């Protein structure tokens, strides 16, 4: 661990960012360039004291999970992320784990979307980051671990996952989930995490096994869908998708036309989401 290099790198990357770059209000006049230490700490879900000690060369060696959070908070590129791991005394994540590092370009778009649900997914259906509106619509997806991080896996193993969709639309959703996984499997190979997911689902879900044998391949995100919120009921939404260049991550943005019932329910969801956020804080 190179404490001096780590401290200098964190400081310079922090100073290179502006509040608007990470979706924060500029607020009062700032005496120093870039973000404040407490803002980076909040974005990385760590204490300000812990982050401050890293910049002052006094902190313990960060874990790989902590470094991944810092890379996301500081909007690092893949090369910058690898460098951060190296100077902190860790091997950079393997190439098969690159989908857990959120593409900075998608994060910059997500940071500017506060009034409508938006989330970034890996090509295995893992929620990498979601805004507060998406958390209010889908629930907080950050607590899943292992194979359950993938919404594809949860769709075929957890009945509660299907409650967000009308019953008459669930067969179509099942087909879309498998087609998405087939596309990921084709690009990642049978020995990848996609292959692990396929083998696990073939053992536990006859429905999945039957759909998998069809060999349907597509990156499917319906442009119009109905989602069922536990308190607001059905919400009709349009879904727009933005992919990274390598197609490994996708930003989903859910909107509704003005003056529609779906639009009004999104306005209620914004209030509901803020109340839930305030209560959790």
The CATH number linked to 227 is 3.30.450.180
Do the domain assignments include residue 43?
yes
- Give me the DSSP letters along 177-220: HHHHHHHHHHHH-TTSHHHHHHHHHHHH-HHHHHHHTT------
Whether residue 115 sits in one domain with residue 163: yes
User: Does this model's pTM top 0.85?
Assistant: no
Do the domain assignments include residue 222?
yes
Give burial (CB, 10 Å; 0-12/13-18/19+) of 208.
buried
Collect the ranges in the chain with pLDDT lower than 70: 27-28, 30, 32, 94-100, 220-222, 273-281
| Domain boundary residue, one of 93, 123, 147 | 93
Do the domain assignments include residue 273?
yes
Q: Output the pLDDT for position 95.
A: 53
Contact 241, 250 (CB under 8 A): yes
Nearest to 51 by CA among 2, 91, 14, 103: 14
Whether residue 209 sits in one domain with residue 258: yes
Do the domain assignments include residue 98?
no
Q: Output the pLDDT for position 25.
A: 72
Whether residue 167 sits in one domain with residue 30: no
Whether residue 225 sits in one domain with residue 131: yes
Whether residue 132 sits in one domain with residue 61: no
- Give me the DSSP letters along 41-77: HHHTTS-HHHHHHHHTT-SPPPPHHHHHHHHHHTT--
Count other Cβ atoms within 10 Å, centred on residue 154.
19
Between the alpha carbon of residue 248 and those of residues 42, 84, 128, 139, 184, the distances in Å are: 27, 22, 12, 23, 8
Residue 171 tokens, joined: 């067969």
Whether residue 108 sits in one domain with residue 46: no
Q: Output the pLDDT for position 275.
A: 55
8-state DSSP, 30: P
Whether residue 145 sits in one domain with residue 78: no
Rounded Cα–Cα distance for residues 152 and 219 (Å): 13
Whether residue 177 sits in one domain with residue 47: no
The residue range of the domain holding 82 is 3-93
| Tokens 């006859």, located at residue | 206
Whether residue 154 sits in one domain with residue 115: yes
Do the domain assignments include residue 99?
no
Whether residue 85 sits in one domain with residue 33: yes
| Domain boundary residue, one of 45, 66, 93 | 93
Do the domain assignments include residue 11?
yes
Whether residue 137 sits in one domain with residue 33: no
Contact 17, 74 (CB under 8 A): yes
Count up the domains in the chain and report the number: 2
At 24, give phi and psi (nearest 5°): -105, 150
Count other Cβ atoms within 10 Å, centred on residue 203.
9
Between the alpha carbon of residue 154 and those of residues 90, 91, 160, 170, 242, the distances in Å are: 31, 31, 9, 13, 23
Rounded Cα–Cα distance for residues 82 and 124 (Å): 22
Contact 239, 253 (CB under 8 A): yes
Whether residue 146 sits in one domain with residue 84: no
Do the domain assignments include residue 118?
yes
- Strand locations in 52-169 (E): 118-122, 127-130
Q: Output the pLDDT for position 203.
A: 95
CATH number at residue 51: 1.10.260.40
Rounded Cα–Cα distance for residues 21 and 112 (Å): 9
């Amino acid at each position: 661990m190179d404490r001096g290099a780590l401290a200098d790198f964190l400081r310079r990357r922090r100073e290179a960012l502006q509040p608007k770059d990470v979706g924060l209000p500029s607020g009062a006049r700032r005496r120093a360039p870039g973000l404040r230490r407490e803002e980076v700490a909040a974005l990385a879900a760590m204490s300000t004291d812990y982050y401050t000690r890293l910049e002052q060369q006094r902190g313990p060696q960060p874990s790989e999970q902590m470094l991944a959070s810092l890379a996301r908070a500081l909007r690092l590129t893949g090369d910058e992320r690898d460098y951060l791991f190296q100077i902190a005394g860790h091997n950079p994540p393997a190439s098969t784990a690159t989908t857990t590092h959120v593409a900075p370009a998608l994060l910059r778009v997500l940071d500017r979307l506060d009034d409508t649900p938006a989330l970034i997914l890996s090509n295995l259906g893992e929620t990498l980051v979601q805004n507060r509106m998406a958390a209010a619509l889908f629930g907080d997806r950050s607590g899943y671990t292992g194979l359950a991080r993938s919404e594809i896996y949860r769709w075929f193993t957890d009945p509660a996952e299907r409650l967000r969709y009308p019953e008459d639309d669930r067969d179509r959703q099942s087909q879309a989930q498998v087609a998405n996984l087939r596309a990921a499997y084709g690009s990642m190979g049978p020995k990848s995490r996609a292959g692990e997911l396929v083998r696990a689902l073939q053992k536990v879900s006859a429905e999945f096994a039957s759909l998998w044998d069809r060999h349907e391949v597509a990156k499917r995100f319906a442009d119009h869908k109905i989602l069922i919120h536990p308190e607001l009921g059905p919400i009709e939404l349009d879904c727009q998708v933005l992919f990274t260049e390598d197609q490994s991550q996708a930003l989903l943005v859910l909107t509704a036309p003005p003056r529609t019932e779906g639009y009004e329910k999104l306005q209620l969801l914004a209030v509901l989401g803020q109340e839930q956020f305030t209560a959790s804080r």
